Chains A and B, each alone.
Chain A
Amino acid sequence: MNPSDFHHLLTKRKTFFCYSGPLREGVLTAISESLRTGIKEQDIENKIQRKIFGIFIEQAQNIIRYSVERPTDDTGVGTVALSHRDDGILIESINAVSDESANYLDEQLKLLKSKTAVELKQMYKERLREGPPEDSKGAGLGLIDMARNSNTFHHYFESENEKTLFVFSCEIAF
């Protein structure tokens, strides 16, 4: 692929922000500010801007915590991207996960997809009360939070060189 192909690819899919590589909290702090500026320039309502930022942070922190490509203990490798859609914004994350995480994510996301907004709220509050599942490094609330803030979300897994890639996208409508 030529460098210009890469440029054209991002332009064609209307990606206005993309980070790919090692992510750790310091990197996230640094890119958060430029992301904020990037979102502000998109002429989007404040409340939508906040949702976009929130989903981006949850996706990025999931990469930091759960990516199985780990150059150091506190660093996970992955890609996060924001793109325009005809009537909204797409927030995507891609990272390698363990088979165990893949099963958990698949099960949770399918479950969340079957829920109504009211049911998602109930699940969120139950999780707040009861605390995280045993294998969660966070509060176990992140996926529910993203499901609540997205209008639609999709996920799939891809096998690549004996690795399992988790591809997750959330769309927020204007």
Chain B
Amino acid sequence: MTGFNLNVEASARTPEIRLSDGRLEIKGECYPEDVADFAGSIMPTILSSLEEVQEFKVYIKLFYFNSSTAKFLYDFFENLDDAAHSGKSIVVNWLYEPDDDSMQEAGEDFAEDMENLEFNLLEDKE
């Protein structure tokens, strides 16, 4: 049991966030008014949790995110990639609906740039 947990419910424009024991789940849509504000409310806890563990798993299923959120996600993945480079075991599972080309391509864009972590693109039918 690590000391860093999050249980954030989805809002109209931000996703549900669950964090416990080195497992992070993000699900929903993300196009908040101010992504920096939203990131500031969750990232410190997530990064503290990442520091504490040797294995970190992320499950992300987004149905839509705006372009500002894309930058936020990229920076987050870079943080994870750095952690993987320093020897931690990091897995990102990027989930998308079978017919969702947009989210599949978005996942591919991120995956191509990550060098050290394991980035899996997975079809996931609800």
Contacts and interface: CB of A to CB of B under 8 A. Distances in A.
Q: Is the interface of B mostly helix, strand, loop or mixed?
A: helix
A46 B67 contact: no
B97 to A, nearest CB: 8
A144 B70 CA distance: 12
Interface string A54-77: 100110010000000000000000
Interface residues of A, number: 27
Given A25-B33, A29-B12, A125-B109, A145 B102 contact: no
B2 to A, nearest CB: 30
Contacts, number: 61
Interface in B63-105: 63-64, 66-68, 70-72, 74, 99-102
Nearest to B97: A46
Contact of A54 (B71, B102, B113): B102
A129 B102 contact: no
Contact of B109 (A58, A128, A131, A138): A128
Nearest to A29: B12
A124 B113 CA distance: 12
A132 B68 CA distance: 9
B67 A47 contact: no
A141 B64 contact: no
Nearest to A136: B68
B64 A50 contact: yes
Contacts of A142: 66-68
Interface string B97-126: 001111000000100110000000000000
B31 interface: yes
Interface string A111-153: 0000000000100110011011000001101101100010000
Nearest to B33: A25
A163 interface: no
Interface in A42-57: 46-47, 50-51, 53-54, 57
A151 to B, nearest CB: 14
9 contacts: A50-B102, A51-B102, A124-B109, A125-B109, A138-B67, A139-B71, A139-B72, A142-B67, A144-B67
Given A129-B74, A139-B72, A144-B67, 17 more contacts: A33-B12, A46-B99, A46-B100, A50-B63, A50-B100, A50-B102, A53-B64, A54-B64, A54-B66, A58-B66, A121-B109, A125-B112, A132-B71, A141-B67, A141-B68, A142-B66, A149-B102
